[in-house]
Amino acid sequence: MNPLLRLDSVYKSYGDEEVLRGVSLDMEVGDVEVVVGPSGSGKSTLLRCVNRLTEIDDGDIYLDGDRVTAPDTDVNELRRDVGMVFQDFNLFAHKTALGNVTLGLRRVRGMGKVEAREKAMEHLDQVGLGDQADSYPAELSGGQKQRVGIARALAMDPKLILFDEPTSALDPELIGEVTEVMRDLASGGMTMLVVTHEMTFAREAASTMTFLDQGEIVERGPPEQLFDRSERKRTREFLSRITARHGDAQP
Amino acid sequence: MLQALADASFGAVVLQSGDWGFVFENADYLLEGTLTTVLLTVASVLLGFLVGFPAGVVEVYGGRVLRAIVGTAGVVLRGTPILVIFFFGYFVFRFGGAFETAIVGLGLRSAAYQSQIFRGSIQSVSEGQMEGARSVGMSKLEAIRWVVVPQALRRSIPGFQNEMTIVLKDTSIAYAIGVAELLTLSRELFIQETTAVMEVFLFASAIYFVLTFTTNRGLDYLGQYYGIPTEESV
Amino acid sequence: MSETATRSRTGIFRSLSPGQVVTAAAGILFWGWLAVRLLNDWGVVDAGAAPDEPFVDPAGLPEWIPEWVAFAVEFLPQMASGVYLTVVLTVAGITFGFVLAVPLSIARVYGTTSSYLSLAFTELIRGTPLLVQLFVLYYGIGLTSFLGGLPGVGQGWVPDEAVWVAIVGFTINSAAYQAEYIRSALISVEESQLTAARAIGLSKLDGIRYVVLPQGLRYAIPGWTNELVYLIKYSSLAAFITVPELFHQAQDISSNNFRYTAVFTLAGVLYLALVISAAKLMETVERRTSIPGVGRIKGRQ
């Protein structure tokens, strides 16, 4: 049986700067992989390579056994299967919450208006925003915007969702509503690749945690291993710094 | 239909070397027209500035009545085709010859547009600047003169650039009242030698293009030179 | 959307100031007169006047009305046919110009080679006077004789070739200016919007079509207002290639009777009516299409 997602020694540089230096990892269906690391460690680039918003220089990426880095891959089809949630939400400014979710259903999946609306409402309810369906992004709080962003990704029925620091742009008091939705998704069996600084979420929801530094995986394993029993100095130092800044990760 | 196509293709093959020769023989004549065009532009923009700048100040700081008068005059001038303005000047008010009429017409119309440019840039200089000036003891008038206007003028450069090229292009409409500018003289040449129509108008277009291009680049440079740095303090 | 729309619809009658009432009344009077006049002259409806006769007999006007007004009334029917052509030229120019401007601006923002071609076109057109462009089209390239040779041109409802040449000219000219307005509107839409569109699987072209354009076009509305006003005024230049639009009619009338003040005042008033109507129309469009957070109204400054 193939893993759902396989990264096989992925390399990426921007000019002289090597951002990813031979990153390999496997994810099974239902896995929640949390990637942590200092800024500039290549976490966001890693995510964007998976749905090919960024092209890699060397290595291979497979989704469900298909080589997505093959030149003849239809990137639009690939992105149907890989949802993405952005740090700055990137909601379509001219569409209501509902319109943000239906746009992909209608224009990418070719659904009819009624069907798309029904499905979109389902996902807005799922993230607790059924009552805000007609609000425009400018009328929503940051936490609400991000939940619409999650609903937009969910609606495409993706095999995998990428979360690119989904709570970094939020005021502290709004973070909880987003991580709560993410936790629900995780326990519902969604496969998620998450870049975040939310250590509480990582400890409670991650099945595997990866510490990325200078484009390399320093350590990868269950969250308890990295938080409590890490043998790597770099991991320990990073995690103690990040928990001091972003709150205690102890349950 | 076929006949029409044949006519069209016949009409299109008019670029002949002899016709270019005709244009170059008369280059002096066209350059005279160019000079008139430039003169007309400069004089009109200058008049537009002399009237439009105070009008812009009035629209921001003036009293109700004054503002209403300036505002209405602006709406009328901006809402009327320059052709109609020229004809009014030439046939109704009759204060001078075609050249003077063109300057006054283009100038006043430009003033109406320039007042909007200056109004916008004066308003964009923050109220804080006014308060700052008042707080060091300047009168309102002094604050406008020494603090608001110098900043507003610099911010007006992009709009002014646009306005100047519009005036430049619209000098060609002075053809309607017979000013001997570039287009009028081009048209006279073409009437003399009708086969040279494309050559004459392409030549004139090239001159207009060089003029607008130079104006734009020149004012770009002015904008960079006098622009206020936004990041570091002055 | 539905909520804001309903609010502005019910609010229209509540929130009118006396000035707005006067403007609205003048607008209704002007457009009402124009519609009845034209329909009457085309024989669609019978409003009780012969095609060239004014609705009100100038000789029968009361004493207190100034003489020049009575004089102007006599020429209103002829002016109306000019206004009609002015509107036709403007609407055709802005519509066909828009059709060209969208691909031009997209090429300029997102294209590579096509970006330079688009830039060259817009700069050349914007760098030369409209009147020169009209002369080139009318006298220079044989377009006139080609269009004149087409079957049906100049017969019945179809205007003659000069009008078509003018429409071609205004279309090309307006395309260049509109492309510039739309270009700057497109680049004011954040890049992340297209990234998000791509991330849900839309192709680049679909992303531009469904996400970037709907926002960009809203940012472009103030530019359009300018463009519409510009076209109304500059359609007068069509007079020099023999199109009998409003200015041409005014010139015709005044060259017969030398009553320049009356005739050109009337022409000016009619142009002003068109320009103010256009500005009001675009205000309404901007309000109706406004979305919180997109465009000028309640938007970013």
Question: To the nearest whole number, what is the mean pLDDT of chain B?
Answer: 86
Q: Which of the pair, C71 or A26, is modelled with greater confidence?
A: A26
Q: What is the pLDDT of residue B193?
A: 81
Grouping H, G, I as helix, E, B as strand and the rest as coil, residue C217 is helix
pLDDT tens sequence across B169-195: 999 999 999 999 999 999 888 888 878
Confidence (pLDDT) at C11: 44
- CA distances, C160 to each of A80, C145, C154, C157 (Å): 54, 11, 4, 9
C155 CB burial (10 A radius; 0-12, 13-18, 19+): exposed
- CA pair distance A176, C36, nearest whole angstrom: 65
Strands A82-85 and A216-221 come out as unpaired
Chain centroid to CA C231: 5
Residue found under tokens 């290595």: A59
Site from B64, B78, B80, B162 to mutate, C interface, most C CB atoms within 10 angstroms? B80
Cβ separation C202–A51 shorter than 8 A: no
Please tell me the distance from the alpha carbon of residue C271 to that of residue C275, in angstroms, as a whole number: 6
What are the helix (H) ranges across C111-220?
A: 113-126, 130-135, 143-149, 161-188, 191-199, 204-207, 213-219
Is the Cβ pair C141, B87 closer than 8 Å?
no
Phi, psi of C243 (to 5 degrees): -75, 125
Mean pLDDT lowest for which of A66-75, B10-19, B79-88?
Answer: B10-19
pLDDT of residue A50: 95
Q: Which residues of C touch B81 (CB under 8 A)?
A: 233-234, 236, 247, 271
Token pair of A34, please?
A: 């949390």
A/B Cβ contact: 3+ pairs below 8 Å: no
Task: Give the residue, C250 or C6, on which the prediction is more confident.
Answer: C250
What structural domains and CATH numbers belong to chain A? 5-246 (3.40.50.300)
Query: What residue ranges do the domains of chain C occupy?
Result: 18-288
Kindly report which listed range (A132-136, A208-212, B58-62) carries the lowest average pLDDT score: B58-62
More confident residue, C38 or B19: C38
- Average pLDDT rounded to a whole number, residues C137-164: 84
CATH topology of domain C18-288: MetI-like fold (1.10.3720)
Name the CA dihedral angle for C109, C177, C85, C274, rounded to a multiple of 10 degrees.
Answer: 110
Q: Which residue range forms the structural domain that includes residue B147?
A: 17-226
* Cα angle for residues B57, B59, B64 (degrees, 5° grid): 125
Give a three-class secondary structure readout of chain B.
CHHHHHHHHHHHCCCCHHHHHHHHHCHHHHHHHHHHHHHHHHHHHHHHHHHHHHHHHHHHHCCHHHHHHHHHHHHHHHHCCHHHHHHHHHHHHCCCCHHHHHHHHHHHHHHHHHHHHHHHHHHHCCHHHHHHHHHCCCCHHHHHHHHHHHHHHHHCHHHHHHHHHHHHHHHHHHHHHCCCCHHHHHHHHHHHCHHHHHHHHHHHHHHHHHHHHHHHHHHHHHHHHHCCCCCCCC
Nearest one of A89, A126, A83, A88 to A108, comparing CA atoms: A83
Q: CA nearest B218: which of B91, B57, B41?
A: B41
Distance between CA atoms of residues C112 and C118, nearest Å: 10
- Give the tens place of pLDDT for each residue, C21-36: 888 899 999 999 999 9
Using CB atoms, which residue from B14, B80, B173 is nearest to C268? Answer: B80
Strand partners, A160: A82
pLDDT band at A207 (very low <50, low <70, confident <90, very high): very high
Residue B127 scores a pLDDT above 80: no
| CA–CA distance, C263 with C75 (Å, rounded to integer) | 8
Tokens of C39: 């329909």
pLDDT, tens digit (0-9, with 9 covering 90-100), for B37-58: 999 999 999 999 999 999 999 9
Rounded distance, CA A161 to CA A84, Å?
Answer: 6
Is B8 within the bounds of a domain? no
Q: What is the pLDDT of residues C233-276, one digit of tens each?
A: 999 999 999 999 999 999 999 998 888 888 999 999 999 999 99
Using CA atoms, how far apart are residues A48 and C199, in angstroms rounded to an integer?
Answer: 9
Asked if the C-beta of C12 comes within 8 angstroms of chain B's C-beta atoms, the answer is no
Residue written as token pair 């809402």: B79
Do residues B108 and B46 touch, judged by C-beta distance below 8 A? no
CA distance C122 to C124: 6
Flag if B190 and C139 touch (Cβ within 8 Å).
Answer: yes
Beta carbons within 8 Å of B52's beta carbon, 6+ residues apart: B110, B111, B112, B113, B114, B115, B117, B118
The answer to whether the Cβ–Cβ distance between C291 and A88 falls below 8 Å is no
Q: Which of B56-70, B185-199, C13-27 has the highest mean pLDDT?
A: B56-70
φ, ψ for residue A63 (rounded to 5)? -120, 120
Strands, sheet with A5-14, edge to edge from the N-terminal-most edge strand: A17-27, A5-14, A58-63, A66-67
pLDDT tens for each residue of C181-204:
999 999 989 899 999 999 999 999
Looking at chain C, which subunits does it touch, using at least 3 CB pairs closer than 8 Å as the criterion?
A, B
Tell me what percent of the residues of chain A surpass a pLDDT of 90: 90
List the single best residue of C86, C132, C170 to mutate versus B (max B Cβ within 10 A).
C132
- The fraction of chain B above a pLDDT of 70, given in percent, is 89
Residue C228: closest CA among C174, C158, C290, C176: C174
Across the interface, do A108 and C197 touch by the CB < 8 Å criterion? no
Residue C13 — very low, low, confident or very high, per pLDDT cuts 50/70/90?
low
181-210 in chain B: CB under 8 A from chain C: 183, 186-187, 190, 197-198, 201-202, 204-205, 208-209
Residues of C at the A interface (Cβ-Cβ below 8 Å)?
A: 1-3, 189, 192-193, 195-203, 206, 210-211, 214-215, 218, 291-294, 298
Touching subunits of A (3+ CB pairs, under 8 Å) are: C
Q: Is pLDDT larger for residue B125 or for residue A191?
A: A191
* pLDDT value of residue C297: 41
- Parallel, antiparallel, or unpaired: how do β-strands A5-14 and A58-63 relate? antiparallel
- Is the model more confident about B200 or about B196? B200
CATH number for the domain spanning B102: value is: 1.10.3720.10
Instruction: State the Cα–Cα distance between residues B20 and A140, nearest whole angstrom.
Output: 66
- Chain B window 121-140: which residues touch C at a Cβ cutoff of 8 Å? none
**Number of domains chain B is built from:** 1
Is pLDDT of A73 > 70? yes
Q: For residues B1 and C143, give the distance between their C-alpha atoms in angstroms, rounded to a whole number.
A: 13
Q: Using pLDDT thresholds of 50, 70 and 90, give the confidence band for residue C157.
A: confident
Choose, out of C2, C200, C217, C298, the residue to mutate when testing the contact with A (most A CBs < 10 Å): C200
C-alpha angle with apex B208: B202 to B211, nearest 5 degrees? 145
User: C78 and C246 in contact (C-beta within 8 Å)?
Assistant: no
Two structure tokens written together for C295? 């465009």
